[in-house]
Amino acid sequence: MKLNIIEVFDTLNKAQSVISAKVGNHQQRVSYFAYALANKLGFSNEQRYKVFIAGLIHDIGALSIKEKLDAFEGTGDDVFVHGHRGAFLLSTFEPIPDLAPILYYHHYPWDNGKAREKYPDMPMESQLIYLADRVCTVTAEYSDAFILTSIPGVRFYLQENKGEHFYPPYVEAALELTEVESVWLDLVTGESFDKIVHSDKSIVDISTNQLVKLAELFSFLIDFRSEFTATHSAGVAKTAEKLAELMHFSPDECKKLLAAGYLHDLGKLTIDINILEKQGALEPQEYEYIKSHVYFTHYLLSEISGFEDITTWAAYHHEKLNGNGYPFHITADSMSLCSRIMAVADVFAALMEKRPYKEPYTKERILSILDVMVKNGSIDESVVKVLAENYDLVENACVTAQEEAKKAYSRVYEII
C-alpha cells in the first residue's frame, strides 16, 4: 500500500500537542529548520527528506512528556539516552532506513572535530539535527509574532558555539539563513512544513508486513510510557488477529486487523500518565477525561490517507452494539465485524492483564463477564462464541504477545 510516511509520524506530534504544545511544535520546527539547512547546503532531495523525517521524530525515544521536555531543554539524567532508545525502536523499520544512527547521535556535540574521531559511525546528518534542535530551543521563548526579534540571539548563540558544539560549515549555513525572514516565519506558521508533508516525496510503498511493524512501533510509544500498560496493545492486537483467523478472514485482512490492534489506543498519548497509572478507582471526572482517548485515536488515525478501515476498526473498540458505548454512541448497524472483533479483543486482553488494581482473571470469570456483555447487547455474540470455543488458542496468542512486549519493554529501559 502507498503511505505518506511523514503524515504518519506527524500524528505523534499532534497527539503530544494536546498535552504540551511546546513538545509537539518543537518536533515540527526542528524538522523544517533541518530541511531548510539541508537545502541551503545543497543536499540531494533524498537527503533533505531523510533529514526532514529525522527531525520530525528525533525525540521519539523520549517516551514521557517529562522526558521530551528534558530533551527539549537539553537536561535530564542523561540527555543521550532518548536518542539511543529512538535508534533502537527505529532500527527494524525498513521503509525509512538509515535514520537510527541519526537519532542515536543527535545530541552529541561536534567537540571541534573530536566527536567524529571518537564516533566514526556518527552520520553528519545527526549534527544537522543537533544544530536545528538547539536553535529551535533558543527561539522557543519568543511568541510567533516576535520570532524575527530572536534572530540576533540566534546569531550570537551560533557564533558562540561554533566548533565546540556545532560543525562550522553548518553554522555558516544557519547564519546565512538568519538573513532570510521567510524561513523564520515559516518556522512558526508551519506553511512550508505542510507543503513538504503533502509532497509526492513523502509517499512510500510498504507491504502489509511493514505496516504491521510500523503499527507495532507505535504501540511501543503508546504503551511503554508505563509498566502497567506495557503489554496491552500487543495483547489486543494478537487476540484480534487470532479471532480473525478463526473466523476465516483473509491473511491480508488479519494483518490489517493486527495493525489496527496495535494502534487502537493511540489516543492515550494525549492522556496524562498519572491517570493511566492511578492505583485505585478513577474519580468520575478522571473517568470522563480518560474516555477521550478513543476520540483522539479516531482523530489522529483519520489524518492518515489510506487508513480509513484501520481507523474505524481501531477507534470503535469502546463502542457497544446497543449504542451505550463511547465516544460516538454508534449502534450495531454501524459497527463492522472487524470493529466488533476489536471490541471483544480489548475486553479480553484487559481481563487477562495484571493491573494496579487487579490480578489477571480466570478463564471462568472472563467467559462469565463476556457472556453478560453479550446478553446486555454490548458485544457481538458470534465473536464471543468463537473465542469461547477456541479459548486456549486465543489465550495463548494473547499471553505470548504480552510476554514478548514485556521483553521489549525491558530492553528499551535497559538502554543507556
Going from the C-alpha of 378 to that of each of 346, 362, 373, the distances in angstroms are 13, 21, 5
* 274 shares a domain with 292: yes
Mind listing the pLDDT tens digit of every residue in the chain (416 residues)? 899 999 999 999 899 888 877 777 899 999 999 999 999 999 999 899 999 999 999 999 988 777 877 777 776 557 899 999 999 999 877 777 689 999 999 999 999 999 999 999 999 999 999 999 999 999 987 877 789 999 999 999 999 999 999 999 999 999 999 999 999 999 988 888 988 988 887 888 999 999 999 999 999 999 999 888 999 999 999 999 999 999 999 999 999 999 999 999 999 999 988 888 887 788 999 999 999 999 999 999 999 999 999 999 999 999 999 999 999 999 999 999 999 999 999 999 999 998 767 788 999 999 999 999 999 999 999 999 999 999 999 999 999 999 999 999 999 999 98
One domain for residues 181 and 213: no
Q: Report pLDDT for 76.
A: 58
- Domain end, chosen from 187, 204, 221, is at 204
Q: In the prediction, which pLDDT does 166 show?
A: 98
Please say whether the beta carbons of 318 and 296 come within 8 A. Answer: no
Q: Which amino acid, residue 377?
A: G
Report the number of distinct structural domains present in the chain: 2
Query: What pLDDT does 312 receive?
Result: 97
Q: Can you read off the three cell numbers belonging to residue 199?
A: 509532497
Same-domain pairing of 346 and 359: yes
Q: How far apart are the first and last CA of the chain?
A: 36
Whole-angstrom Cα distance, residue 203 to residue 152? Answer: 38
Domain end marker among 204, 222, 243: 204
Both 217 and 331 in a single domain? yes
- Here the cell at position 165 is 558544539
Tell me which residue of 118, 107, 100 sits closest to 75, measured CA to CA.
107
**Which cell numbers hold the place of 64?**
514521557
The set of residues, in sequence order, having a beta carbon less than 8 Å from that of 283 and lying 6+ positions away, is none
Q: Do 105 and 198 reside in the same domain of the chain?
A: yes
Q: Could you tell me the three cell numbers for 372?
A: 453478560
- Same domain assignment for residues 144 and 258: no
Asked if residue 246 and residue 179 are part of one domain, the reply reads no
* 8 A C-beta contact, residue 332 and residue 379: no
pLDDT at residue number 96: 72
* Euclidean distance between CA atoms 2 and 397, whole angstroms: 29
Q: Which amino acid is at 246?
A: L
234 and 263 share a domain?
A: yes
pLDDT for 393 equals 98
Which H or E run contains 378? Answer: none
Same structural domain for residues 14 and 88?
A: yes
Contact present, 384 and 370 (Cβ < 8 Å): yes
Relative orientation angle of helices 208-223 and 251-263, to the nearest 10 degrees:
20
* 52 & 172 share domain: yes
The pTM score is: 0.94
Q: What is the spatial distance between Cα 131 and Cα 167, in angstroms, rounded to a whole number?
A: 8
Is residue 257 within 8 Å of residue 342, measured between CB atoms?
Answer: yes
Range of the domain at 164: 2-204
Q: Which residues pair with 204 in a beta bridge?
A: 3
Last residue of a domain, one of 153, 182, 204: 204
Q: Strand ranges (DSSP E) for 267-358?
A: none
Specify whether 399 is located in the same domain as 315: yes
189 and 221: one domain? no
Cell numbers standing for residue 228: 502497567
CA proximity to 353, closest of 393, 403, 388: 403
Report the CATH number that the domain containing residue 99 is assigned in CATH. 1.10.3210.10
How many whole angstroms separate alpha carbon 412 and alpha carbon 223? Answer: 12
Task: Label residue 150 exposed, middle or buried (CB < 10 Å: 0-12, 13-18, 19+).
Answer: buried
